[in-house]
Structures are given as C-alpha cells and as structure tokens.
Amino acid sequence: MNTIARSQLVGVLQDALQKIEAVDVAWEGGSAAFGGEDALSDVDAVAVVADEAVEPTFAQVEAALQALSPIALRYDVPGTAGFAQKFYRLRDAGEFLVVDLVLMRRGDPLLFREVELHGHARTWFDRRGVLIETHLDADADMAQARARVPALAALFAMFQHIVTKERQRGRAMDALVFSTGR
C-alpha cells in the first residue's frame, strides 16, 4: 500500500540532512529543478559533506528513511569519483517514488550547478554559501564532445560486429546490451 507522499519523503530527507553537522549544503535536483515534477517523479537529493563523512551520512539518512518506512531496495552506484550515489525504494512508497541520493565530498569542486544541464535546483539549506548557479561553457563543452568523436568512432568500428553477430544469433537482449556499451 502506497501511503507515503512525495512531500513527506522530501521533508524527511531535508530534516535528516540538516541535522548532520558534516553536511554543508543540500538541494533537490532532477525534475524538481526543471519544473517538471509530477506524480511519477522520484526525489533527486544532493548534498555536499565533509570528505570523511560520506558513509556516516548515508547511515543517518538511511535510519531516517527506515523510520518512515522499511527500505525495500537499495542500490549503491559503483565506481563514482568525487561523489557517492545510492538509490532507495521504500516499502510504503509507490514504485516511482525512489530516492536518488548523491553525496559529494567537500574536497571535490563538482557541484552539478550548470543550469543548462541541471536546472534551477531547490536549495534546502546552504550553511557555507557555496552554491552558486553557473552556466555551461558551450564552446568548451562542444570542444570536449568533438575531441571524443575519434575514440568513439574507433570503438564503434571495432565492436559493432558484436551487436550484429548477437542479433543474427537471435539474442536480441545481448545485442541491446552490446549496443549501449555496457
């Protein structure tokens, strides 16, 4: 039974993060940052924390979520650099009301604040005044994209045969996996 409202879940996250002294700032991104939030929206929460406080912060947030509803599923995103990310689905929340929690280390300057890419985030609190919206440098972004084209073209040329081979074998799912580079 889905008994948890999105606003209730956001409130629990805000309260939990605000109580943790190691958290400098917290905000909501995703569809909320682009003004597209609806009944299907998850909660994209981001916080900047002291470098050594990432795991303790996750533990405290998880305890707050657990007090609201048992955590039915959790996924820890592997291989991130400068930040850590976990997804949570609560038993008493709808299947789409998932928490996507990103904790950035204070020592990493990446703040996901380019409005063209991340929208106008809803700042929950900012203890140190570190959040400043920035704009994407379109020329630099395009130069980086163009610089990647030769390597991507080489990868495609080298490995596209695997997609074709798996398709000819009738293994549509394998072909799909290889076509996405996973």
Bridge partner list, 48 = 25, 104
SS3 of the chain: helix, strand, coil, percent, to 5? 40, 25, 35
Task: Report pLDDT for 111.
Answer: 66
Q: Are residues 147 and 118 both part of a single domain?
A: no
Q: Are residues 146 and 57 both part of a single domain?
A: no
Q: Are residues 103 and 142 both part of a single domain?
A: no
Q: Point out the residues of the chain with pLDDT beneath 50.
A: none
Q: Are residues 55 and 121 both part of a single domain?
A: yes
- Structure letter (DSSP) for residue 95: T
Token pair in block for residue 85: 């990310």
Q: Are residues 121 and 150 both part of a single domain?
A: no
Is position 155 within any domain? yes
58 within 8 A of 80, measured Cβ to Cβ: no
Q: Are residues 117 and 148 both part of a single domain?
A: no
Is position 36 within any domain? yes
170: CB partners within 8 A, 6+ apart: none
Task: Report pLDDT for 182.
Answer: 53
Task: Report pLDDT for 59.
Answer: 98
Tell me the C-alpha distance between 83 and 46, whole Å: 10
Task: Report pLDDT for 15.
Answer: 98
Is position 164 within any domain? yes
Q: Give the torsion sign (CA, 67, 68, 71, 75).
A: negative
Task: Report pLDDT for 97.
Answer: 95
Task: Report pLDDT for 116.
Answer: 79
Largest Cα span, the chain: 58
Number of domains in the chain: 2
Domain interval for residue 98? 6-126
Q: Are residues 172 and 105 both part of a single domain?
A: no
